[in-house]
Amino acid sequence: MALLIGGSPSTGSSLLRRILNRHSKVFCGSETALFSKEELYEKWGKQKARLFRKYFAGLRSAGWHHLRGIIIDNEYSISNEELKQLLYASNSFPDFAEVFYMKSMKEESKMIWAEKTPSNVFCFNKFLKSFPGSKVIHIVRNHEDTIASLINRGMHVYDACVIYLLNTTAGLEYINKPTCLTIQYENLVTDPGTIVPQLCQFMEIPFESSMLDPDQQKLPNDYMEGWKYRETASIQSGSIGRFKQLDDRERNDITCLMYRLRSALDTTYKSIPELADKMSYDIQPEAADYSLSFNLERHMILDRTKRTLKGSYFNHFNYPVYVERK
């Protein structure tokens, strides 16, 4: 079985990866950005060569990030030359993926592979159709804490709000579907003894108590600058409440954007307050005298132009968000 994990960045996918890797049957490698490429599902034969190309010639990932190409870590036990040979020998995307993961799974005696790039969420439907018997996991987290975490990692407040809105609305299109499991980060870190067995039941594998133990495996360190807790540590709830650690101006900008930002995509939910309500998260009250700051207005205009010049997935012609005025 193949498993794809997606959602907004900073919602706990790295923690989930560590938990899955502790299972004797599951291999979940580092992010590859492989499964967020729409063209690979639709036109494998014509598009696969573009995986190794750079800049405008490279394949774009679906979603807000400007990412092109793929990221192959050493843990996949495959050289670039071997990867290219496999690429050209494969007749379909699923064939390529199965062989790509086979070597790593064989070395670790695993039977199920998983991948956890956040922008996977935009290709859930294509993945489920292309990989028979596959399943997907959408991991979600409190909007305020997620956005605060992204800002702490260096992301602009506008980008943090947009990527949370777009990724989360995309993932919630699959809620309650039998092939998708939605996991709330807060439940995972406060009650792993309940959530992890439910995860195993969804994957149709037996629960193993080692999944709840601190990670002793020699896997690449998922710690990133700006993260307060290492994912190699035991499961803990200390990262809940990040929003309250921001200064007043940052909290005000986030709250204001949350009430004004709207998705222009064809999804059920269009705003962060709608998402919060759906997932039963509290939301800060809107300031009555709010108006967008000049810096945020300027950033939005510059971002739209920059994306168009870069040939990004989202650009001037399909810009995915707008600001609703009072």
Question: Which residues share a beta bridge with 5?
Answer: 137
Which stretch of DSSP H or E encloses residue 146? helix 143-152
The Cα 91–Cα 99 span in angstroms is: 12
Q: Where do the DSSP E strands lie in the chain?
A: 2-6, 26-28, 112-115, 135-140, 180-184, 261-263, 321-323
Q: What are the residue boundaries of the structural domains of the chain, listed by start? A: 2-241
The Cα 231–Cα 285 span in angstroms is: 32
The Cα 50–Cα 190 span in angstroms is: 43
pLDDT in tens, the chain (326 residues): 899 999 999 999 999 999 999 999 999 988 999 999 999 999 999 999 888 877 777 889 999 988 888 888 777 878 888 888 999 999 999 999 999 998 889 888 899 999 999 999 999 999 999 999 999 999 999 999 999 999 989 998 899 999 999 999 999 999 999 999 999 999 999 999 999 999 999 999 999 999 998 655 544 444 433 334 444 444 555 567 777 777 777 888 888 889 989 999 999 999 999 999 999 999 888 766 566 666 777 888 899 999 999 999 999 999 999 988 76
Strands 2-6 and 135-140 turn out to be parallel
Cβ proximity of 163 and 150 under 8 Å: yes
Pick the CATH number of 2-241 from 3.40.50.300, 3.10.350.10, 3.20.20.300, 2.60.34.10: 3.40.50.300
The Cα 273–Cα 278 span in angstroms is: 9
The whole-number pLDDT of residue 78 equals 83
Place of tokens 């598009």: 47
